[in-house]
Amino acid sequence: MRVITGSAKGVRLQTLEGLDVRPTTDRVKEGMFSAIQFDVPDSRVLDLFAGSGQLGIEALSRGARQAVFVDQSRASLEVVSANLKKCRFTDNCELHQKTAEQFIRTARGKFDLIFLDPPYRMDILGTLLPQLAPLLSAEGKIIAEHEADCNLQEKISNLQLQKNYFYGKIVVSVFALTEEA
């Protein structure tokens, strides 16, 4: 696993071992960032279910101004911290050891990009997406990675599905606030 492009291009990132961890593949990550490439520079990013932090780190490498990493696992946040140091991104980052729901309840400010990559089979995206809508800036996007058989509605609360990107058994769904929001 590596940073694909930007100021940290080519840096190999550390990840946790085991069955509980499923890092985003380089192919999916490349497609994901191609879809939002013009939204990344100078953005404020939330990497929820951070794992190794690779999505937030990729955004920082591509010019995001700040990234907030959230994971309930201390071990995951230790890996995120090590990866941030390796890429020299520690100054413009926050790390929070909380569940997604705990963070959402206490979060301050708006985010331009929110990356969601919860463990598969948790079936929580439909619940989390409406809770995240108030944290999204007016032109912001939520990028959710999920298994292909996870059926998300096209409209959830005041979020509208913009597009689905298919990568075999993996789907990346991009949501934005509806016009009336």
pLDDT value of position 20:
56
pTM above 0.75, yes or no: yes
The H or E element containing residue 56 is helix 54-61
User: Is 62 part of any domain?
Assistant: yes
Number of domains within the chain:
1
User: Is 127 part of any domain?
Assistant: yes
Model pLDDT for residues 47-84, shown as the tens digit of each residue: 999 999 999 999 999 999 999 999 999 999 999 999 99
User: Is 166 part of any domain?
Assistant: yes
What is the per-residue burial (b if ≥16 Cβ within 10 Å, else e) of 117-136?
Answer: bbeeeeebbeebbeebbebb
- DSSP-derived letter for residue 64 is -
Model pLDDT for residues 14-55, shown as the tens digit of each residue: 988 764 556 777 788 898 999 999 999 999 999 999 999 999
User: Is 19 part of any domain?
Assistant: no
Closest to 144 in 3D by CA, of 164, 114, 173, 121:
173
Closest to 46 in 3D by CA, of 22, 77, 67:
67
Strand 136-147 to 93-97 pairing = unpaired
Report whether pLDDT(115) > 50: yes
Range of the domain at 147: 50-177
CA–CA separation, 175 and 48 (whole Å): 15
User: Is 66 part of any domain?
Assistant: yes
CATH code of the domain covering residue 64? 3.40.50.150
